[in-house]
Amino acid sequence: MLEIRRASVLYPARDKSEPVEALRNVELTIEPGEFVVALGASGCGKSTLLNLIAGFLAPSSGQIKLDGAPVTGPGQDRAVVFQKHALMPWMNVLDNLAFGLKLQGVAKAERYKVAREFLTVLGLEGFEDSPVYMLSGGMQQRVGIGRALTADPRILLMDEPLGALDALTRERAQELILKIWEAQGKSVFLITHSVEEALFMGSKLIVMSPRPGRITHRFELPFSRRFLAGESARDVKASPEFIAMRETILGIIFADEEKAA
Amino acid sequence: MTMDIQDESRPAPMIKRIFRQAPTKPGQTYGVPGEGNTIKISVVAVLVVLGLWQIVTASGLIAPLFLPSPVAVVQKLFGLISTGFTGVPLWEHILVSAGRVFAAFALACIIGIPLGLAMGMSPVMRGLFDPFLEFYRPIPPLAYLPLMIIWFGIGETSKVLLIFLSVLAPVALGARAGVRSVAIEQIHAAYSLGASRAQVLREVVLPSALPEILTAMRIGVGFGWTTLVAAEMVAATMGLGYMVLSASQFLQTSTVLVGIFLIGGIAWCFDLAMRWVEKKVVPWKGRM
């Protein structure tokens, strides 16, 4: 279980600019197996929140705990999937997938065995020896997701992982992530700009607002469970409940944007 | 009909024609500047220059003392191969010079690459070495050659050291810049997969610095050849630089040209080899 208690982040003043309150008093609990999606206008602090959980950033005040132990820096229990995949171009697909295990000192045969399992899960069979710079964007991002999963983290942190993909690839990747989530039972924290993606994927949605960055709304979502129970993604997204929810969320976000403008 | 309608039958002005975008052929991308194969053009350009050289020398426009004909230079080369220069066979001059440059180059890489990496990764190392490296880097080696001779005598040491110093700065600075080329996401990814600081340096920073290190080595060895002649100015009895300098004192212009072409040729071959290594070792350069 991940707990964030009254976490604030204040970026100090620089040159002539005012200090920026990136996050104010954020309270958030991510239960084991929960899929939390953060949504909000740009500048609302979603990335700052992810960096806090990942340990790339320390809070100015407040606390972050994973299973009771305070988070003091990045670690293997919180693997991150980046927007720009951040793969290592000098390694092939298999070595990228096995990178976390290599860092943990797992022997070559064993780490390749694990990596090959994920190769199948991610639909990358036949590409294990390909250099990653030769792959399409969608495949690169799948390698990025696989690399985070092979490290067997407690929680998976995803920073707009599908933002750079085209619409079709993106929907397929959403379904893939949900299926992996169901199979692995991991906690997930995902940031997105897309309201539809947030509603479809999350089991819990937090909506954030800028100046200062804070969580303003929380929703429990049923849609990913419905998809995993067998309903098609298109049916879920076309259902009246989904559309009603989408309008509510869009209303909140547009109100924020208008205030900013 | 008005006067300012362009007459289509008249050719466009010269400048316009040069900068006009040619229509694309199938499989080409429109508007990419500088596309196209250059080998044919380069071969023709070299042949034309050689031809002009032969014409102006053969016709007696330029005296052989100033510019011997290409044929004379080739003849000189074969002469030097069979009889040597100042009693020393040509291949020995080549070997001695190449030995000096590559010994200095190897030494500069062994010291400069780790030094540059350390400077890129640690502010302490950067603070310690940056002022010295940046200060001596722009000084021409000829300026501190006398100092080298006062300190290390007129033997091999001062020659190799002089070349070493000229290669060290570009190699070290290249390695240092290479450290900066790693993306912060890649470092964060490694940390979030459980990497230690040492592992991040070895598994992420080092490989991403590799393209810049190789480029710096290419630039560095060029500086080495530049400095060779300076290093062989004093008390040398062998070497291509020595050959060029002493031949010039006896106005043996063709020997001077042979020496210049040999230095250029060796440096060019080494650069080709480095480019091949680059392709093999860092095929991902600039692609991600």
What ipTM is given for this predicted complex? Answer: 0.89
Taking the Cβ of residue B195 and every Cβ of chain A, the question of whether any pair is shorter than 8 Å is answered with yes
- Stronger pLDDT, B170 or B26, i.e. the higher one: B170
Domains and CATH numbers, chain A: 2-77+157-260 (3.40.50.300), 88-152 (no CATH)
Domains and CATH numbers, chain B: 70-281 (1.10.3720.10)
Distance (Å) from the alpha carbon of B284 to chain A's nearest alpha carbon: 6
β-strand partners of A208: A40, A215
Whether residues B193 and A79 touch (CB distance < 8 A) is answered with yes
Whether residues A56 and B288 touch (CB distance < 8 A) is answered with no
Residues A205-212 have a mean pLDDT of 88
SS3 (DSSP) at A205:
strand
| Pairwise CA distance, residues B221 & B109, whole Å | 10
| Pairwise CA distance, residues B277 & B288, whole Å | 19
Locate B60 and state its tokens.
Answer: 């007696």
- Stronger pLDDT, A108 or A16, i.e. the higher one: A108
Residues B132-139 have a mean pLDDT of 92
Share of chain A above pLDDT 90, in %: 28
HEC string for A49-87: HHHHHHCCCCCCEEEEEECCEECCCCCCCEEEECCCCCC
Q: Which of A45-59, B14-28, B93-107 is predicted least confidently?
A: B14-28
- Stronger pLDDT, A22 or B132, i.e. the higher one: B132
| Pairwise CA distance, residues A170 & A166, whole Å | 6
Locate A206 and state its tokens.
Answer: 């937090």
- Stronger pLDDT, A12 or A179, i.e. the higher one: A179
Mutate which: A90, A114, A147, vs B, most B CBs within 10 A: A90
DSSP letters of A1-66?
A: -EEEEEEEEEEPP-TTSPPEEEEEEEEEEE-TT-EEEEEESTTSSHHHHHHHHHTSS--SEEEEEE
Nearest CB among B190, B210, B288 relative to A133 is that of B288
Contact predicate B38/B30, CB 8 Å: no
Q: Is the pLDDT of residue A58 over 80?
A: yes
Phi, psi of A196 (to 5 degrees): -60, -45
Chain A residues whose beta carbon lies within 8 Å of the beta carbon of residue B194: 75-76, 100, 103-104, 151
pLDDT category at B12 given cuts 50, 70, 90 is low
| Pairwise CA distance, residues A70 & A81, whole Å | 22
Report the mean per-residue pLDDT for chain B: 88
- Stronger pLDDT, A187 or B19, i.e. the higher one: A187
Q: Judge residue B239's burial from the number of C-beta atoms within 10 Å of its C-beta, 0-12 exposed, 13-18 middle, 19 or more buried.
A: buried
Report the mean per-residue pLDDT for chain A: 88
Nearest CB among B192, B204, B287 relative to A74 is that of B192
The end-to-end CA distance of chain B, in Å, is: 56
Q: What is the pLDDT of residue B9?
A: 57
Q: What is the pLDDT of residue A203?
A: 92
Which 199-228 residues of chain B touch chain A by CB within 8 A? 199, 203-204, 207-208, 210
Burial annotation A25-57 (CB, 10 A radius, 16+ → b, else e): ebebebeeebbbbbbbbebbbbbbbbbbbbbbb
CA A228 to chain centre: 19
| Pairwise CA distance, residues A25 & A66, whole Å | 18
Q: Is the pLDDT of residue B1 over 50?
A: no
pLDDT in tens, A23-52: 888 888 998 989 999 998 877 888 889 999
Contact predicate A91/A82, CB 8 Å: no
Cis peptide before B33, with omega less than 30 degrees from 0? no
Contact predicate B175/B115, CB 8 Å: yes
Whole-model pTM?
0.81
Which residue of chain B comes nearest to A140, CA vs CA?
Answer: B288
pLDDT category at B151 given cuts 50, 70, 90 is very high
Residues B32-47 have a mean pLDDT of 85
